[in-house]
Structure 1
Amino acid sequence: MSLYEKNRRLILSALASNVTAHNGYFNGSIGLGPDRVYATGMCAPGAEPDACSRCIETTSEDLLQTCPNKSSAFSWSAEETLCLVRYSSRSLSGLLVMDPRGALYNRQNLRTTNQTEFDNEWKNLMFSLIARTTSSSSSGGNSSSKYYGHNESLVPFFGNISALMQCTPDVSPTDCHTCLQRNVIDYEICCHSRNSGGIIAVVIVVATIILIVVGLVIFKRKNQKQEIELPTESVQFDLKTIEAATRNFSEGNKLGQGGFGKVYKGMLMNGTEVAVKRLSRKSEQGHTEFKNEVVVVAKLQHRNLVRLIGFSLHGEEKLLVYEFVPNKSLDYFLFDSKKRIQLEWGVRQNIICGITRGMLYLHHESRLKIIHRDLKASNILLDADMNPKIADFGMARIFGMNQNVANTARVVGTFGYMAPEYVTHGQFSTKSDVYSFGVLMLEIVSGKKNSSFCQINVLVNNLVTYIWRLWESKSLLEVIDPCIREDCKSDEATRYIHIGLLCVQENPAKRPTMSTIHQMLTTSSIALPAPLPPGFFFRTEPRSSPSAQGLKPDQTSRKSITCSVDEATITDVIPR
């Protein structure tokens, strides 16, 4: 099965839930480049959600069976509810699409004593309805009432003629008028004197003619109820789809547990393995974190960032669907005395360089400037080849391209990885991410956790303090993990330690950028400056840290601080 076919199955499997979640009309896409699939689903206005969902689901399945090798296809269904499903390898955004077209009608001839009277009444109804439908554009922006019209007319000795017309909300009034008028003319040519019929689709009802006319124009809209702009790079899944994929969130499928919920392994109907993050209903930050990850991660594409496939919103259930990364998280290996042996020096170098590339993309190369704010070993996932993927963007913040620093009264993150200016003043920037990266880099080389502990008025970063003292005594070889001392080149390892110390300097201005770090790691001829003392978090101000106020690390003060102390040998979050 090609990647295009997999993407087609994936987006069509979620189309029913997307359509019902967006008032009967949805379009989106999944994939990149030639493997990207665009899909549209629509139900007639007023359709019951369950009936609409069944219609879209059945029509999608029929398309997959009827057109297994086609890159573009569409189908109308008029069994119970009028609905449309269409997919294509190209975007139709902003285009008025009139073809292909088809006609369905009752083959029995119309029986009326006055055909001329019927024809005149029918024409008057059609063209007055076109005027009403196109004039409804001012009644709702991109709402379902825009470009929608329905009316009836009584013909003596025949009965009621009922007509329904609709264009998609973003087509211009001129294009909508053109589309409707063209379809009315085509109806006259193909279906004149038939009991019931239509250019696109028909519901056969005694003494009734129903005309459905739709201009197929793709548009983007916002889920106003949840106040989340749906990214076209991801898909919204129906809750039942996720429940089936995870065996109803069974314990056997549970991969781990983080600060904002549990993670489960799942398999979609097309065979794709996924990791489903189920946000805790009790978490006060659940909705904020959920919205943040959907909006931020869906816009990022890099091999060293975990890929968001889709999400699901259903009442209090908030689910994030990620690609499945089989080798768990970095801390699962790094801080276990037996598993750490699998991380040879070459593997550790590859992990450090991969994280560097991912952070360089976030800070400088993506279309957004992203500050991660929670970079740590448990948020680095490892794929089948032990390549790193940065995960967990629930705390990430988007910066303007010319913005360098921001302040917050709500400090979030993990003690031991947080830069001193962030803990004490709520100030974060790319340089606070660099500090976290430096701590992580020192952990990878040493195989030791930068565990933190609270004392009265003091928060000490043990590993950073320890390595700095060895730097001053010119004993950096002692920092290197005994598991790799024979495997690595000592000058390479000590250079990595040197770069790590440059990253954790107390003054943010002295820390290198991720771009400079990448150059330092890939070009050994670049001379490294001597590092200044790192941030030790020694503070005497009464409000400089939670411990200074007699608070435990998970308690908050007027300056809200939401942090965790990374005390466990292995964190709870494992494979995702």
Structure 2
Amino acid sequence: MGSFHLFLLLPTFFSLFLHTSPSPIIQAAIDQGTKAYYNCTRNSTFASYSAYRSNVKILLDFLSSNGTNNAKFYNTTVYSEDTADPVHGSFLCTRDTIPKQCQECVTQAAKLISSLCNNATEAIVWYQVCYVRYSDRRFFSTVEESPKLSFMNDQDYVGNVGRFNNIVWDMMNDLRSEAASASNKSADKSVNITDNQKAYGYVWCLPYLSGENCSWCLSDAIAEIPTGCCRGKSGGTIIYPSCGVRYELYQFHKAHIRGGSVSPPPLPNSSSSPFSSSGKRKKKTLTIIVIVVPIVVSLVLLALRCCCFLRRKETKNQHDILKESFGNDSTTLETLRFELAKIEAATNRFAKENMIGKGGFGEVYRGILSDGKEIAVKRLTGSSRQGAVEFRNEVQVIAKLQHRNLVRLQGFCLEDDEKILIYEYVPNKSLDYFLLDTKKRRLLSWSDRQKIIIGIARGILYLHEDSCLKIIHRDLKPSNVLLDSNMNPKISDFGMARIVVADQIEESTGRIVGT
């Protein structure tokens, strides 16, 4: 990845519940230029510490021995008599690691963690191709996001950074969905940035995580790419104890180069030539070709010229509309523009059976694009100046935001007097759908409510402190908090949002908004 910076990330909100703060992550110099990062937590001298250390040694021996069995993942627990002094441990090798390389890495990691963390009740060590971990806590099947490793490529992306960030975001979220449903909880892919440039991505979760927990862990890791780590960088890595994500502009994973070259199609057999006959038939065929081909070519060229002219005229008109609506942002927002015909096809021309919501702003429809992707289409009504202002505000604000607790803008349409916003589809409607119904509110468990509260807080913190813009929402209410399939909250409706400068602490307004 070139040269990297190691970031010591602050404890998350959840560390308040654990009453502990993690020790710093340290880089260890290993022979032959290999790098390892390790963390030793909660050093202790409790009464039965010697028994616990003995169990740690047994556990690390177990992990090392199982690294020789062609296993890429293994977890186990070692106890003293009467199940006292338990120590839980696991190792994981990356998917493209060969068995011998995995074995050597696990053995080396077990030795390193034993020598460097000999007073710790909990420790973890990361290499490039494996990691080893132990703890007196049973961490199997739970999502653990601390301690963290964060790397970024030193090189900034050269080109349209906004478009690049959107492509990387979409790629990583596609990988998240694929990994969550995969048996080995990992996925890789590449996508085109330009005609001659690709981005490569790889994500993984510990195999014992459920699909929901894997998706949750990866969502949090991906959310750090545009905020705490790598925005605008040509590559980056986020590693948690339970999952990890990485993207680059070069092939860093064996799966990226597993495809072979495509052979060119064979040349036609010489015996199949249309001119293999002789005499009158040959002359007649040749005469027809000489007359017909120029006529057909001329007609095709004329049609293409007309199409290009009409297309340029239409494109020019669209550019003028975007320039008038969004000013200097029009060039960046061009990539988010949808054609009206594409939206009408996705919603079956705004069919009533596809309507999923309605309000003073207009109607919301569920749509399915040609590639099978689900979208939510907000069709604004009326042509008032205020409606146009809120439409422009929504596009300009939310297009620059990327966070798992904010609804994602997929695009917009300004065509034939239509003002349309296209969002990611969120299936569980809004929070008020549950809270205002005495029966449906019972469907929200306490864990769901906690997840929703924390998610909303994360989204607001991002808007106020962590995003590239400092934004005041001004209309936060249950109907503007959407819930995805896993009941994760997503703040929506930024039509009334206000952008303020970084150090601004107060603002005045001439219009009362919000609820």
TM-score for both structures, normalised by structure 1: 0.36
Please state which structure has a larger fraction of its residues in helix. 2
- Relative contact order (C-alpha < 8 Å, sep 6+): which is higher? 1
Structure whose CA Rg is larger = 1
TM-score for both structures, normalised by structure 2: 0.40
